[in-house]
């Protein structure tokens, strides 16, 4: 069975639910995952701190490049097993199943939301319908293949520059964050930051419940740090900050590229309720030149007068597409059966479709781990027993 969905579909209204954090988890520097809330918050959340005077120091964002502790690409795909463990842990503590229609990574929903702006790029996702919910994950094999093909296309010199750029992003994060709020850090911790070795193993992840139209989603996303502090009560989402680096804009010709990045950043933050973005602008030698703060809610206004056309950037339009496509997914894929589906966009034919994946039972079983299935079975049994 194949179902297609037109790319010009738009929802009439885009009623949004206020995002709410359900739980947090973290990936440690040795690639393991931890789930205890207190420990995760205490040990793994970073705090933003970069006074303006630091920016004048012209930090070299490639410093320490040779010591970069980089996680291999194949180990850095959206880790579904870890996400399911987090859900299980949360459900065991609360005694209830997460009430939502779709469970996935925020990054995948960013891609889906921006599909009308990336019509030359394929999108390959798996959807597993299980226990009344849709679990969406990336097709890791295809993602890795895309990545290695990208590398083959460019010269070794260009490849080296790209890896340095990637490093400079993580370096910027290391430079402008602290392991604890500023007031609790000693001078050494603050001043040693330029020398700190950089790794991209460590991640703080937040699972957020949100919704658009009548569809509820649980999205897991990486959070770079806290802008100010973590409140003892109330939602932490408004206190988080997203960190980015970009090439300093030196000519009007570079503006459309930045606008597209800003659109992506907006979607990324908007989806899980992150209110602030800090951009570090660097020159072609990867020297930090300028730092700027953006409020997520201001970005659509900034982009209203964007110079980019074909297609013209418009956050409301992206949101209306997202509302429509999410509604379609939630209603067109039956959820009462344990089944594997494929969600594809093909840039050649411009066809966006959902199809049943045949004879790939092992895959659906490996996506939804047996541990998770056992847990959900026991939850269903308990619910049945208490209702009779």
Interface residues with ligand 0WD (CB under 6 A) are: 76-79, 105-107, 110, 138, 143, 169, 203, 220-222, 244, 268
- State the residue number with the nearest CB to ligand 0WD: 107
- Does residue number 84 form part of the binding site for Ca ion (CB under 5 A)? no
Least separation in angstroms between CB 66 and ligand 0WD: 19
The entry of ligand 0WD, Ca ion, none that residue 103 binds, CB within 5 to 8 Å by partner kind: none
Integer Cα distance of 10 and 311 in angstroms:
15
Nearer to Ca ion, 44 or 85 (CB): 44
Nearer to Ca ion, 237 or 243 (CB): 243
Which of 50, 207, 218, 243 is in the footprint of Ca ion by CB under 5 A? 243
Least separation in angstroms between CB 76 and Ca ion: 14
Least separation in angstroms between CB 165 and ligand 0WD: 11
Return the range that interacts with Ca ion (CB under 5 A); candidates 65-73, 131-139, 240-248, 342-350: 240-248
In 3-state terms, what secondary structure has residue 362? helix
Nearer to Ca ion, 10 or 196 (CB): 196
- What the block records as the tokens of 102 is 């779709």
Integer Cα distance of 325 and 354 in angstroms:
11
Beta partners for 291?
280
Least separation in angstroms between CB 344 and ligand 0WD: 16
Q: What share of the chain is helix, strand, coil (3-state, %, to 5)?
A: 45, 25, 30
Q: Is 247 exposed, middle or buried (0-12, 13-18, 19+ CB in 10 A)?
A: middle
User: Are 242 and 209 a contacting pair, CB within 8 Å?
Assistant: no
Nearer to ligand 0WD, 211 or 221 (CB): 221
Place of tokens 């973290």: 26
Return the range that interacts with Ca ion (CB under 5 A); candidates 11-19, 230-238, 243-251, 269-277: 243-251
Q: Which of 295, 254, 293, 247 is nearest to 273 (CA)?
A: 295
Q: How many CB atoms lie within 10 A of CB 236?
A: 19
Q: Is 203 exposed, middle or buried (0-12, 13-18, 19+ CB in 10 A)?
A: buried
In 3-state terms, what secondary structure has residue 227? coil
Integer Cα distance of 379 and 62 in angstroms:
50
The entry of ligand 0WD, Ca ion, none that residue 106 binds, CB within 5 to 8 Å by partner kind: ligand 0WD
Among positions 200-239, residues that touch Ca ion (CB under 5 A) are 224
Nearer to ligand 0WD, 15 or 154 (CB): 154
- In the DSSP assignment, the letter for residue 199 is B
Nearer to ligand 0WD, 154 or 307 (CB): 154
Nearer to ligand 0WD, 10 or 43 (CB): 43
Integer Cα distance of 111 and 268 in angstroms:
9
The entry of ligand 0WD, Ca ion, none that residue 76 binds, CB within 5 to 8 Å by partner kind: ligand 0WD
Integer Cα distance of 48 and 289 in angstroms:
18
The entry of ligand 0WD, Ca ion, none that residue 26 binds, CB within 5 to 8 Å by partner kind: none
Return the range that interacts with Ca ion (CB under 5 A); candidates 186-194, 208-216, 228-236, 241-249: 241-249
Q: Alpha carbon 356 to chain centroid distance? A: 26
Nearer to Ca ion, 170 or 321 (CB): 170
Least separation in angstroms between CB 216 and ligand 0WD: 18
Q: What is the largest CA-CA distance in the chain?
A: 70
Residues forming contacts to Ca ion in the complex (CB under 5 A) are 224, 243
């Amino acid at each position: 069975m194949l179902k297609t969905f037109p790319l010009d579909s738009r929802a009439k209204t885009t009623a949004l639910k206020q995002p709410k954090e359900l739980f947090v988890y973290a990936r440690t520097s040795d690639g393991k995952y931890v789930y205890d809330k207190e420990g995760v918050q205490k040990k793994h959340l970073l705090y933003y701190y970069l006074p303006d005077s630091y920016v004048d120091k012209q930090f070299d964002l490639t410093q320490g490049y040779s010591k970069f502790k980089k996680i291999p690409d194949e180990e850095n795909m959206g880790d579904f097993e870890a996400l399911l463990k987090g859900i299980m842990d949360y459900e065991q503590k609360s005694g209830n199943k997460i009430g939502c229609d779709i469970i996935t990574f925020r990054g995948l929903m960013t891609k889906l939301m921006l599909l009308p702006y990336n019509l030359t790029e394929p999108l390959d996702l798996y959807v597993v319908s299980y226990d009344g919910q849709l679990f969406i994950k990336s097709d890791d094999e295809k993602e890795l293949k895309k990545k290695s093909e990208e590398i083959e296309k460019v010269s070794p010199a260009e490849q080296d520059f790209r890896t340095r750029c990637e490093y400079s992003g993580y370096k910027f994060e290391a430079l402008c964050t602290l392991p604890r709020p500023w007031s609790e850090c000693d001078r050494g911790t603050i001043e040693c930051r330029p020398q700190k070795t950089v790794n991209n193993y460590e991640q703080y992840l937040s699972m957020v419940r949100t919704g658009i139209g009548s569809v509820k989603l649980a999205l897991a996303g990486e959070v770079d740090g806290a802008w100010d502090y973590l409140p003892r009560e109330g939602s932490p989402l408004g206190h988080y900050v997203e960190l980015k680096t970009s090439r300093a804009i030196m000519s009007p010709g570079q503006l459309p590229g930045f606008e597209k990045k800003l659109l992506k950043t907006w979607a990324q933050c908007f989806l899980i309720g992150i209110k602030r973005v800090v951009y570090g602008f660097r020159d072609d030698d990867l020297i930090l030149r300028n730092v700027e703060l953006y409020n997520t809610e201001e970005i659509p206004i900034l982009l209203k007068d964007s110079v980019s056309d074909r297609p013209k950037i418009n956050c409301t339009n992206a949101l209306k597409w997202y509302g429509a496509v999410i509604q379609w997914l939630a209603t067109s894929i039956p959820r009462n059966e344990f089944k594997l589906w494929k969600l594809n966009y093909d840039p050649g034919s411009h066809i966006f479709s959902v199809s049943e994946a045949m004879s790939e039972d092992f895959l659906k079983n490996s996506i939804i781990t047996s541990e998770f299935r056992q847990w959900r079975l026991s939850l269903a049994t308990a619910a049945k027993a208490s209702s009779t």
